[in-house]
Amino acid sequence: MKNHDKYHLIFAYESRIFVAMENANTNPKMEEWFDAKLQKNEMVEPKDWMPDNYRKHLIRQISQHAHSEIVGMLPEGNWITRAPSLRAKIVLLAKVQDEGGHGLYLYTAAETLGVSRDELLDALHTGKAKYSSIFNYPTLTWADIGAVGWLVDGAAIMNQVMLQRTSYGPYARAMVRICKEESFHQRQGYESICHLAFGTEEQKQMAQDALNRWWWPTLMMFGPTDANSPNSANAIKWKIKRESNDQLRQRFINQTIPQIEYLGLTVPDPDLKWNEEKNGYDFGTPNWDEFMAVISGNGPCNKERLKARVDAHKGGEWVRAAAKAHADKKREMEFAA
Partner 1 sequence: MSDSQGPIWEVFVQKKPGQPFVHCGSLHAFDKEMALQNARDLYTRRSEGTALWVVPSSAIVSSSPEDLGPFFEPANDKVYRHPTFYQIPEGVKHI
Partner 2 sequence: MFDLLVPVQPEISNNQPEIIMNKQEALFNYTLRLADNSLILSQRLSEWTGHGPFLEEDLALTNIALDILGQSKSLLEYAAQVEGKGRTEDDLAFLRGEREFYNTLLVEQPNGDYAKTIARQCFMDAFDYYFYSELSNSKDATLAGIAAKSVKEITYHLRHTSSWMVRFGDGTEESHTRLQNAIDELWRYTGELFEMTEADEILLKEGIAVDLNAVKVKWEKHIAEVLETAKVQAPENKYMQRGSREGKHTEYLGYILAEMQYLPRAIPNAKW
- Give contact residues for partner 1 (rule: CB under 8 A): 3, 6-7, 10-11, 13-14, 17, 45, 47-49, 97-98, 101, 104-105, 108, 111, 116-119, 121, 173-174, 177, 181, 317, 320, 323-324, 326-327, 330
Alpha-helical segments (H) within 198-316: 201-220, 232-237, 245-263, 288-293, 302-315
The amino acid sitting at 3 is N
CB of 238 to partner 1, least distance (A): 17
Q: Residue 322, interface with partner 2 (CB under 8 A)?
A: yes
- Written as one letter, the residue type at 10 is I
Candidates 6, 237, 307, 326; binder of partner 2 (CB under 8 A) is 326
User: Would you say 65 or 249 has its CB closer to partner 1?
Assistant: 65
Inter-residue contact 93 to 277 (CB < 8 Å): no
Nearest to 242 by CA among 334, 303, 165, 317: 165
HEC sequence for 39-106: HCCCCECCCCCCCHHHHHHHHHHHHHHHHHHHHHHHHHHCCHHHCCCHHHHHHHHHHHHHHHHHHHHH
Position among 180, 303, 320, 331 found at the interface with partner 2 (CB under 8 A): 320
C-alpha 320: how far from its chain's center?
27
Number of residues that bind partner 2 (CB under 8 A): 46
Of the candidate spans 91-99, 149-157, 257-265, 296-304, the one that interacts with partner 2 by CB under 8 A turns out to be 91-99
Select from partner 1, partner 2, none the partner in contact with residue 85, using the beta carbon and a kind-dependent cut-off of 5 to 8 Å.
partner 2
In the bound complex, what is the minimum distance in angstroms from residue 254's beta carbon to partner 2?
Answer: 30
Q: Among residues 248 and 265, whose Cβ is nearest to partner 2?
A: 265
Of 118 and 277, which CB lies nearer to partner 1 in the complex structure? 118
End-to-end, the C-alpha distance of the chain in Å comes to 56
Choose, by CB under 8 A, the member of 96, 151, 155, 253 that binds partner 2.
Answer: 96
Q: How far apart are CA 334 and CA 56, in angstroms?
A: 41
What residues numbered 175-204 form the site for partner 2, per CB under 8 A? 192, 195, 199-200, 202-203
By CB under 8 A, residue 93 contacts partner 2: yes
Rounded to an integer, what distance in angstroms lies between the CA atom of residue 128 and that of residue 134? 17
Find all residues with CB under 8 Å of 42, minimum gap 6, and list them: none
Q: Which of 1, 17, 21, 321 binds partner 2 (CB under 8 A)?
A: 321
For the chain, percent helix, then strand, then coil, each to nearest 5?
70, 0, 25
Asked if residue 73 binds partner 2 (CB under 8 A), the reply is yes
Q: Are 166 and 237 in contact (CB under 8 A)?
A: no
Q: Is 329 in the site for partner 2 (CB under 8 A)?
A: yes
Q: Compute the least distance from the CB of residue 311 to partner 2, in Å.
A: 7
Q: Which residue ranges make up the site for partner 2 (CB under 8 A)?
A: 70, 73-74, 77, 80-90, 93-94, 96-97, 100-101, 103-104, 107, 142, 192, 195, 199-200, 202-203, 308, 311-312, 315-323, 325-326, 329
